[in-house]
Amino acid sequence: MKPGIGFSLLELLISLVILSALLGIAIPDYKDLTESISGDVTLRKLASAIQLSKSTAITNGTTVTLCRSTDGLACGGHWQDGVIIFTDRNRDRVINEDDRLVRHITFPEGNGHISFRAFQNKQALQLTSQGTTAYQNGNFTYCPFSGNQLFARQLIVNRTARMRFAQDRNGDGFREDSRGRPLNCD
């Protein structure tokens, strides 16, 4: 090797210190970005599931149920575990007789908690053959496991099964629910 080519030990150490300082700044931003994207992806998948439920109900001329499901075969568990969509001719929220499982949808694992609050407090969303909910306007709220409300997201569903995502209307960095209150992850 020619003299003067390469790094001295001191130059290498200085480069490592600068690199670690830059990584220390970038990693928290990366964590925030992934936490934000996770909530968006989860609720967009849920919105697609509701849209599929609505179109299936209209196409088949029957009630369709969307419910939380751990195993992909029956209702139960937690919303963040996944959902199933099935035709529900007798509207009992159970797959039986002439009912048909349409789809099982899962969400990104281990990122957050999803809760569903709806009129009549039922933990399943039913869509009628006209494509409307069975009097179940409500919302799905996503809260990251970190509890950081900055990354809370909400999907608001009205009686006609129209959906919209909660927005930050006052510019404070936190999204508000349909009543204008900041989303709460407590």
> Which tokens go with 42?
């989860």
Which SS3 state, helix, strand or coil, does residue 85 take?
strand
Q: What amino acid is encoded at 13 in this protein?
A: L
Say if CB 51 and CB 68 are below 8 A apart: no
Where do the DSSP E strands lie in 24-96?
64-68, 83-87
Confidence of residue 18 (pLDDT cuts 50, 70, 90): confident
pLDDT at 1 over 50: no
pLDDT in tens, 122-175: 889 999 999 999 888 899 999 998 888 899 999 999 999 999 999 999 989 899
What does pTM read for this prediction? 0.82
Which domains occur in the chain, in start order? Answer: 10-136 (3.55.40)
Q: Out of 21-35, 56-70, 116-130, 144-158, which region has the weakest mean confidence (pLDDT)? A: 21-35
